[in-house]
Amino acid sequence: MRLIVTDFVTVDGVIEAPGFDEHRDGRNAWALRVQGEDDEQFNLHQIFTADGFLLGRKTYQIWAAFWPTVTVDEGLAKRMHEVPKYVVSKTLDRADWNNSTLISGDVAEAVTRLKEQPGGDLLVFGSADLVDTLLEHDLIDEYRLLFYPVILGSGKHLFRDGIDTHHLRLVGSRTFDSGVVLLTYEPESETPTSRFVEDFSWTQEQVRSLQAAQDVDRVLATVLFTDLVDSTVRAAELGDRAWRRLIDRHDEIAHTVVTRWIGQFVKTTGDGILATFDAPTRALRCAFDLRDAIGGLGLEIRAAVHTGEIERRDSDVGGIGVHIASRALGEAGTNQVVVTRTVRDLATGTDLEFAPLGSVSLRGVPGQWELFEASLG
C-alpha cells in the first residue's frame, strides 16, 4: 500500500478545524466556507478509491463523533463507515467505530507492516503529530496538500517546529474554481543544490555589517521580574471574578511603582511583571517598593534582578539578560529579592545589603551563577 498524506492547509500552514470541529479561538469551518464543487469531487474521489485511512487520536475522535450520524450524504457516510480505519494512539483503550483498528505499540513498525500489505492508497488526514512521526521514519510516499486562500492566524500546523529538513519534489498541481490549489509532492532522496547557493553566499563583510546593524537594538539594562506567590491557590479561593479584580489592581500598582522609579514597564506575565531600568539601584528600590505595595493587597511576591545586555523588540525585550533574570526568579522565595553577582557589584547605596545564596545552575544558561538576597539595611 502507498501511504499518502492529504490535508487541507491554510496559507499560514494551519490544518486545525477545517470543518466545525473545535478551534481554540473559534476559527473553524475555514475550509467549508471556501469549498467548491470541483475540489469536493476530488476529495470524494480520494475517499472512495482509498483502501484505508490512517488517523491520529484527535482526528479519529472527531470523525467518529460526526460520521456515524451524518445524514447530508448517506453514500459518503456509508463509505466512511465501511472503509478500514487504523488509529494511532497511546492513550485510547479501544476504537469502537466500525472497521477501526487501534495501533498502540511501535508506530513505525506497525505502519511498515501495513504498507507491505497488498492494496492501493492508505490515506492520512489531519493528524499532525502522526504525520511528524511518519516523516521521521521516511514512511510517507506522497503528499497531497490542498492550500486554501485563507490566513487563519492561529491553530495547529501540519509540521511542527524543529523537525529535520526534508526535501520534496513537485509531481503535480491543480487549481480549483474556489481558488484552492492542490500541490502533490513526493519525497526527494537527495539534497538539491544549484549555482545560486554559491552565488548568494554571504561574505564575512556582509555578516559583520548585519551584526553591526542588529546590535543597534542591543543595550545594557537592568531587568526586573516579579511573580505572585501561590497565585493558583489564591485564585481558586477567591473565584475568577474577584481574582481578576485583584490582578487588575496589582497591575495598576505595578505600573505606578515602576514609573516612580523611572523604569520601563514592559509587560505583565499573568501574575507578575517584567520591567527594565537604566540602573540596578533603581530596579532594586522598585522591587522593595513593589513588595510593600502589593503586600497591601494581601498578596506576596518574589522578585529577581539582573544587569546585562538585552535586545529591544518593539514594545518587548529579549536576549540572554532577560533569560537570566527569568531563571533567577525561580530561585527566589516568598518576599525575596534575588539578584545576580553583577547587580551586587554595580549597585550603590549604604542601606543596601546582600546575603549570599550560593552558586546555582540556571536552566538553559551556561555556567554557574552566584546569587544573593538583596535587602534594605
Q: What's residue 365's pLDDT?
A: 87
Which CATH number, 3.60.20.10, 3.90.79.10, 3.40.430.10, 3.40.30.10, labels domain 2-187? 3.40.430.10
Indicate the residue type of 118: P
Centroid of chain to Cα 145 = 22
Q: What's residue 348's pLDDT?
A: 77
For the chain, 377 residues long, give each residue's pLDDT as a single digit of tens. 999 999 999 999 999 999 999 998 999 999 999 999 999 999 999 999 999 999 999 999 999 999 988 887 788 999 999 999 999 999 999 999 999 999 998 999 999 999 999 999 999 999 999 999 999 999 999 999 999 999 999 999 999 888 899 999 999 999 999 999 999 999 998 999 999 999 999 999 999 998 887 766 788 999 999 999 998 888 888 898 899 999 999 999 999 999 999 999 999 988 899 999 999 999 999 999 999 999 999 999 999 999 999 988 888 999 999 999 999 999 999 999 999 999 999 997 778 999 999 999 988 888 899 999 999 98
CA distance 150 to 38: 18
335 neighbors 230 (Cβ within 8 angstroms)? no
The pTM of the full predicted model, rounded to 2 decimals, is 0.64
What residues contact residue 225 under an 8 Å CB cut-off, 6+ apart?
269, 272, 273, 274, 303, 304, 305, 325, 326, 328, 329
CA distance 82 to 28: 27
Name residue 307's beta-bridge partners: 222
If 0-12 CB within 10 Å is exposed, 13-18 middle and 19+ buried, where does residue 287 land? Answer: buried
Q: What's residue 147's pLDDT?
A: 97
Give 157's DSSP letter: B
What cell was used for 261? 522609579
How many CB atoms neighbour CB 162 within 10 A? 6
DSSP codes joined into one string, 41-105: HHHHHHHHH-SEEEEEHHHHHHHHHHGGG--S-HHHHHHHHHS-EEEE-SS-S---STTEEEE-S
3-state helix, strand, coil in the chain (%, to 5): 35, 30, 35
CA distance 293 to 257: 8
Q: What's residue 270's pLDDT?
A: 82
Domain boundaries, the chain: 2-187, 215-376
CA distance 156 to 350: 54
Domain 215-376: which CATH class? alpha beta
